[in-house]
Structure 1
């Protein structure tokens, strides 16, 4: 249980009255002495604990953790080309648009997605009117990553440091007591209520190709509906080339992702520097680093 702040409020009663007074100090006797009654604790932590309980129950998938893990693994300085790309800049500065990023396995799509999340979160850290949320899909977790849970995962990120609203509390009370779970439409309504609180929202969905096709259509359809309802929602999706954007998403621009030589070199350098054995060889033979760069780059036309 989390620690909570408490206010200790002491209830003061009159002390013993003077001659002719009553023991309670309420009579007409002399001045009552100073008395002290019981202490009552008002626990301000209860509200926050209840809020967190509702969030955890409505949204069992926590993408904050996945985002943090990928960010730690990302090599510093890689991916800058994407942030500087005209299509990305146009997407970032527009409203109601979709950026569909496609690339073969190993092209670094997931790493780039996490970089975009970090970039946007940092850029708008001090602007509470702009929200950033992400989804990381994994074919091994398809059974757990149902469309309602994924959309609830977006809602969870958007209500960080925000009021969760009455809809969330109502769903919790309605379903928790019965042992049921919210329907897809109930979760969509919950997410929609949160999206309306922002002037702009960026949603990043990684590896849509790893999601089963029938669920993929549902997820993209519901996101498209929200984009049409809330014109301030921008969507970025990463995928392998064989998955098309479809016809429901608005204002789609397609960006091909491939392994960039500069990023490959930074990745290789990090691997060399982290290995004491390789580092010793490179120190003795400085040209070896260039040879490794050339060899790996020649084999990494589109993917790492």
Structure 2
């Protein structure tokens, strides 16, 4: 069966999927259940042992507002790095500047390049740390990604050996030394290759030594590396190019205008008032201070307003990011105080991985006295709406939640939310 869905071609029963010129090779094996030794099969094995960042990439790219971020792709620094004139591109940005979304934009741009390069990605997330040696997890993931993108190449003896040695052992990871050696061999055979590392500062949060070691591992692979981070990347050698990431006024304006069209309540408030939409756009741009997060949170707060006076009060009062957070938490405490149980859970049980359904049941317990608990359970959309943009749901690699979509967990929309709560508790 073949379906054409707006530039997407899917072959059911085959093994190819393409969307907007990005090709992903999928192999389906039927029969005895014994896994065939192919590069794609070994890749799936390695990714199951480490981390598949595809969901993180899809989420990051999904947060992009159309027609934003183009300035970075046109920058001299990025194109110099992309042409391999410099091995390192350092992209520093303050919290909320849009670094992770920009990583998604960059990865997509590289994937659409001609000739098509090998593009490997690492998305770091302070809320979702892998179990085991984090550097080992990263290298195994990079090797798995590389094998998927070069599925037609032959299988080396070393690659076959590492697969045959570890595939039946669920408790052991392939040795980092062997994975590093094979990854370097494979990358040496690729004519063009790039690694995009997002949020270095969220890799082993606060452990600068571990972050330096990861950069050292990537340097040793001999390929071009782009790193986004809150702080300067600890490159110790090689040609380095820097291009800061900021939310430019024109991109913030595009984002705010697009968001206002989606917020039905604000749309109803602004519709009869000529010029008020432009006032909102200009006001949010002036308050953005080179980050997307501030107008995003302000719009979330405004979406609960019932009249123009309330909207203008938020627009005039909000200044620093901490003040925006203070306003939001005050509104939540007054309107939906029950959701603070979720904030406490995310703040205090940061190492506990609870699926979406389990958290919804936990929140319902506060109001449950008799009858069926499920009658008190709110939907995830209701909970997220009550959080006013401070919390979202994402796929988690190690969570399968019975009765809910596998892998969904609640987390703060941004690391700075947790940092704000830590600062006031």
TM range (shorter): 0.7 to 0.9
Q: Deviations over 1:159-207 (max 9, x none)?
A: 2252372333211211234553212211111211221221111110000
Of 207, 216, 230, 1:240 maps to: 230
- Tell me what 1:188 maps to: 180
Partner SS, residue 223 of structure 1 = helix
Matches within 5 A, 1:263-274: 263-274=251-262
2:241 match:
253
SS across alignment from 2:148: coil
Partner of 2:161: 170
Shift of 1:51: 5.0
The equivalent position to 1:153 in structure 2, one of 122, 126, 141, is 141
C-alpha RMSD of matched pairs (Å): 2.6
Shift of 1:251: 0.8
Q: 2:210 aligned with 1:215, yes or no?
A: yes
Q: Shift of residue 46 of structure 1?
A: 6.5
Distance 2:84 2:38 in 1: 37
**Unaligned ranges ≥5, structure 2:** 1-11, 15-29, 293-425
User: Contact 1:4–1:43 at 8 Å: present in 2 too?
Assistant: no
What is the aligned partner in structure 2 of residue 123 from structure 1? 113
1:204 to 183, 196, 202: 196
Q: Secondary structure at the match of 2:111?
A: helix
Contact 1:131/1:158 (CA < 8 Å) preserved in 2?
Answer: yes
Segment drifting more, 134-143 vs 98-107: 134-143
Larger radius of gyration: 1
Kept after mapping to 2: 8 A contact 1:4/1:44: no
Task: Give structure 1 stretches of 5+ with no counterpart.
Answer: 6-41, 228-232
Distance in 1, matches of 2:226 and 2:118, equals 14
CA distance in 2, matches of 1:95, 1:170: 36
Match of 2:265 in 1: 277
The alpha-carbon distance between structure 1 residues 277 and 180, as it changes in their structure 2 partners (threshold 3 A), is closer
Q: Which residue of 1 aligns with 2:414?
A: none
Separation (CA, whole Å) in 2 of partners of 1:170 and 1:120: 32
1:135·1:205 contact (CA, 8 Å) conserved in 2? yes
Alpha-carbon distance, 1:261 to partner? 0.8
Q: TM-score normalized by structure 2?
A: 0.55
SS in 2 for 1:238: strand
Q: Answer yes or no: is the 8 Å Cα contact 2:86–2:241 preserved in 1.
A: no
Greater Cα offset, 78-87 or 133-142: 133-142
Return closer, same or farther for 1:165/1:285 CA change in 2, 3 Å cut-off. Answer: farther
Contact 2:35 2:41 survives alignment (8 Å):
no
